[in-house]
Amino acid sequence: SSPTPISIVAKDSKPEKLNAKFFIAHTKPGMVQFMTENLWPKHGAGVSMKKKAARRYMTGVEIRKLADGHPLSGEQGLFATQSFAQCDVIGEYVGVVLTVGGRPKGGGDYVACLEYGLHDQVLKLDAKSSGNEARFINSCLGIGDGKLVMKTAYVETLPHILIIARRDIEVGEELLLDYGEAYTRAYFQDRSAKGTAPIELPAKQNKIAEDVNWDELSPMQQQEGGDY
């Protein structure tokens, strides 16, 4: 018979812990093991399989120098070398993990929140000096629509920032991200404090498909309530 689902959750209890207990309690001993990561074969076979499956670089993307006429001409951007469908995972945003409340060296231009929450209360990633191809994704501000969104996912028990396509992306398109209002305010509009002219915010860009719920903010959009 099917196991009886848990319908009452004790006050202050964590649902994920109850799920694990429920999993263990309703499976036959020795038949199913509760796991938090994939189990690879041991010894030589597993090592060979891991080596063959591993990808050191992001696939389907290319770092290019931005041509004349581009708002960021002379700098770099990330472009698609293959087509991506809406909701495809493009890759992962990686960098140096900062402690809660820790300040990045040399400014926070490449900082993204590794966890959901207020800026000063979560772990963050800084890709300024260490990162991968994803650090070359430019803000969509004044360039085009944000084709990507960042989402935190827990892989092997730890938080990771995944970069996901908000809509279909064609070969040759520049991959752009909406950095969020707080980030934009700190690094674009407040430039006057650093002696440079502020950048005017454009009207809302092309409408993104409405059949996907993007209400959850991306990590770069969750930097309200703290200094940069």
Given a cut of 60, whether residue 85 has pLDDT beyond it is yes
Given a cut of 70, whether residue 140 has pLDDT beyond it is yes
Overall size of the chain counted in residues = 228
Q: Which of 25, 137, 121, 160 is nearest to 80 (CA)?
A: 137
Assess contact for 138 and 72: CB atoms under 8 A.
yes
Given a cut of 60, whether residue 79 has pLDDT beyond it is yes
Q: How far apart are CA 150 and CA 219, in angstroms?
A: 6
Is residue 142 very low, low, confident or very high in pLDDT (cuts 50, 70, 90)?
confident
Report the chain's mean pLDDT, rounded to a whole number: 76
Q: If DSSP codes are grouped into helix, strand and coil, which group holds residue 167?
A: coil
pLDDT of amino acid 75: 93
| Mean pLDDT value of segment 74-89 | 96
pLDDT of amino acid 208: 35
Q: In whole angstroms, what separates CA 21 from the centre of its chain?
A: 30
pLDDT of amino acid 7: 42
* Higher-pLDDT residue of 4, 212: 4
Given a cut of 60, whether residue 221 has pLDDT beyond it is no
Assess contact for 222 and 228: CB atoms under 8 A.
no
Given a cut of 70, whether residue 2 has pLDDT beyond it is no
pLDDT of amino acid 226: 34
In 10 A of CB 186, how many CB atoms?
A: 20
Is residue 161 very low, low, confident or very high in pLDDT (cuts 50, 70, 90)?
very high
| Mean pLDDT value of segment 113-138 | 87
pLDDT of amino acid 13: 56
User: What is the tens place of the pLDDT at every residue in 27-76?
Assistant: 666 667 778 888 888 888 889 999 999 999 999 999 999 999 999 999 99
| Mean pLDDT value of segment 125-152 | 91
Given a cut of 50, whether residue 228 has pLDDT beyond it is no
Range among 131-145, 179-193, 213-227 rated most confident: 131-145
pLDDT of amino acid 90: 97
User: Residue 79: phi, psi to the nearest 5?
Assistant: -125, 155
Is residue 141 very low, low, confident or very high in pLDDT (cuts 50, 70, 90)?
confident
**Which one-letter amino acid corresponds to residue 10?**
A
pLDDT of amino acid 27: 66
Please state whether beta strands 124-126 and 89-93 pair in parallel, antiparallel, or not at all (unpaired).
Answer: unpaired
